[in-house]
């Protein structure tokens, strides 16, 4: 187990469980929490024994987003100091969004503002019925700036505008309709459901293929149609040379069940 103060980190069945552990502050972000989360994700990405990451929050909230007392303390900073702090947060979101392994958000409490953004940056999100989601920054005169970058990609401009410009809270079921949540499970079932899903993914998919597929999804979003087809053809050719591809095809032809 990693030695963190504000983050819980444990590994089970090749799954790294990373949890925000600041329940008395509803897992709100401050500099220390952001830094520990960054380190935890770096550890999980570099650990060859980890195939999947499950991100959760201890206590009653997944995350309330930025710690407003911490945010208020930054108001006396210079623009350069605030930019450095913003870049630190940006690096966390970007790392999760571009993570080489699958990241699953397990939302067992409210995910508000930056907390909703944290869940949105993950590849899959599972939530309990009582969890509320919302990008509430405009209600306190702030801007949902960093989360906007990947939210627009994830759910499109019209749906993103509805959430970002109103700042309203929506239920887990409504969040599923928006494309923010994949599945909603009762609180007593979500732990087993997420673990079963993660284990199945770890056992049935190639790590190499997952990394390359996630990379392509991110890159294709900014390419012209012609660039995208050329890039896809190149990646298709490279994929045939991967050791995982050779092993997988051989196992299929031999009618063997592949265990990744």
Strands 61-63 and 110-112: parallel
pLDDT of residue 2: 63
Average pLDDT over residues 175-204: 97
Q: In what order do the strands lie in the sheet with 132-134?
A: 61-63, 110-112, 132-134, 170-171
* Residues designated catalytic: 137
Q: What is the pLDDT of residue 70?
A: 78
Going by pLDDT thresholds of 50, 70 and 90, the confidence category of residue 41 is: very high
Q: How confident is the model at residue 16 (pLDDT cuts 50, 70, 90)?
A: very high
Q: Tell me yes or no: is domain 7-202 CATH 3.90.226.10.
A: yes
Average pLDDT over residues 210-238: 94
The domain spans of the chain are: 7-202, 206-253
Whether pLDDT at 257 is above 70: yes
Instruction: Give residue-wise pLDDT tens across range 114-140.
Output: 999 999 999 999 999 999 999 999 999
Q: Which is it for the CA torsion 92, 98, 101, 107, positive or negative?
A: positive
**Phi/psi class of residue 228: alpha, beta or left (left: φ > 0; alpha: ψ in -120 to 50)?**
alpha
Residue 71 has pLDDT above 80, yes or no: no
pLDDT of 244 reads: 85
11 — pLDDT class (breaks 50, 70, 90): very high
Q: Per-residue confidence at 101, pLDDT binned at 50, 70, 90?
A: very high
Place of tokens 């007392």: 69
pLDDT in tens, 135-174: 999 999 999 999 999 999 999 999 999 999 999 999 999 9
**Residue range 177-203: mean pLDDT, rounded:** 97
Are 19 and 2 within 8 A, CB to CB?
A: no
What is the token pair recorded at 112?
Answer: 């508000």
């Amino acid at each position: 187990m990693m030695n963190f103060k504000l983050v819980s980190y444990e590994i089970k069945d090749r799954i790294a469980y990373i949890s925000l552990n600041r329940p008395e502050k509803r897992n709100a972000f401050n500099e220390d929490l952001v830094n520990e989360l960054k380190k935890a994700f770096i550890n999980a990405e570099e650990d060859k024994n980890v195939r999947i990451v499950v991100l959760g929050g201890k206590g009653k909230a997944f995350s309330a987003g930025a710690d407003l007392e911490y945010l208020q303390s930054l108001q006396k900073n210079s623009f350069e100091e605030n930019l450095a702090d913003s870049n630190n947060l940006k690096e966390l979101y970007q790392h999760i969004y571009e993570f080489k392994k699958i990241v699953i958000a397990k939302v067992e409490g409210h995910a508000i503002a930056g907390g909703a953004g944290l869940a949105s940056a993950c590849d899959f999100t599972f939530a309990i019925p009582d969890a509320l989601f919302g990008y509430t920054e405009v209600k306190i005169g702030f801007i949902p700036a960093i989360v906007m970058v990947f939210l627009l990609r994830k759910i499109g401009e019209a749906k993103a505008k509805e959430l970002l410009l109103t700042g309203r809270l929506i239920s887990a079921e409504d969040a599923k309709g928006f494309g923010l949540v994949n599945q909603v499970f009762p609180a007593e079932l979500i732990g087993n459901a997420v673990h079963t899903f993660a284990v199945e993914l770890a056992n049935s998919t190639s790590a190499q293929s997952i990394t390359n597929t996630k990379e392509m999804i991110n890159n294709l979003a900014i390419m012209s149609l012609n660039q995208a087809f050329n890039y896809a053809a190149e990646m298709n050719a490279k994929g045939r040379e991967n050791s995982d591809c050779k092993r997988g095809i051989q196992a299929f032809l031999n009618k063997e069940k592949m265990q990744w």
